[in-house]
Amino acid sequence: MRSIFIADAHLESPEDTNYQLLLRFLHELEGELDTLYIMGDLFDFWVGFPSHPFTHYDAVLDALERLVVRGCRLVYFEGNHDFHLGSIFSERLKAEIHAGPFIESVQGRKLFLCHGDQINREDRYYQLLRYLLRSPLVAAAIRYFPPAWAVKIRELLQKRSQRGYSVKTARWDYRKIVLDFARSIMKQECDGLVTGHFHIALCENIPETPFTVLSLGDWMEQLTYGEILDGELRLMTYSA
């Protein structure tokens, strides 16, 4: 059996190519998958409003449910575009939800798993925004938000993300940040890091160690994802 890691699809419309290809990919995995790790930002925006204003994602939710019914374990790491996931994931899809990093043994490998948005501690403005949005107060208030607020919040985060990404990639060397972070968590006796968020596709070992760094790229243009088979972490590209 296989375990798959996927992140940063940033799904928006069912008509988009990456949305349609993800549905095809999930269908191909039915009955073939032990665990699907969603490493954050599967959706361009998702918060678990009780009214479920995100019906354009229903086809993805149905595809995930078919995987779960066929015996797949679903593990979801909240990203910076999808958090406070709500009952659809916790109850309908029986997902194991992590708001932050988690260490887990997978096929004999002790892996540090995370979306990755907490890795760059120098991005202080984002870390403050993350703290505020993830607060218990916001989580409790969501049930009282009118559905129209979902669209407004989505537009606000989307504009900020689009403006900020090119600025941040020019300011920071994300590859170095990821590799430096990987070296720091080796002290926790981990032998692998799996992360999303940075949209960098890489899979490499830290020299003279068994430690593997797997940064998942994205399912927007790169169509990359991670796989672990017989204890080996690999970076894969989906063939469209």
Would you list the DSSP string of 65-84?
HHHHHTT-EEEEE--SSEES
The CATH number of the domain holding residue 173 is: 3.60.21.10
Distance CA 9, CA 31 (A): 22
Which one-letter amino acid corresponds to residue 118?
Q
- Name the residue range of residue 74's domain: 2-237
3-state SS, residue 126: helix
- As for how many domains the chain has, the answer is 1
Asked if 234 and 226 touch (Cβ cutoff 8 Å), the reply is yes
Measured distance CA(110)–CA(188) in Å, rounded: 10
- Report the 3 state secondary structure along 159-179: HHHHHHHHHHHHHCCHHHHHH
- What is the residue-level pLDDT of the chain in tens, covering all 240 positions? 789 999 999 999 999 999 999 999 999 999 999 999 999 999 998 988 888 889 999 999 999 999 999 999 999 999 988 998 999 999 999 999 999 999 999 999 999 999 999 998 888 877 887 877 788 877 777 776 776 766 677 666 666 665 555 666 667 899 999 999 999 999 899 999 999 999 999 999 999 999 999 999 999 999 999 999 999 999 999 997
Residue 147, phi then psi, degrees to nearest 5 = -55, -30
- How far apart CA 155 and CA 162 sit, in angstroms, is 11
pTM of this structure: 0.91
* Residue (of 173, 190, 158, 149) closest to 53 by Cα position: 149
d(CA 204, CA 15): 35
How many CB atoms lie under 10 A from the CB of residue 166?
9
With H, G, I as helix, E, B as strand and everything else as coil, classify residue 193.
Answer: strand
Closest among 135, 90, 116 to 193, alpha carbons compared:
116
Torsion sign across C-alpha atoms 217, 218, 221, 223 = positive
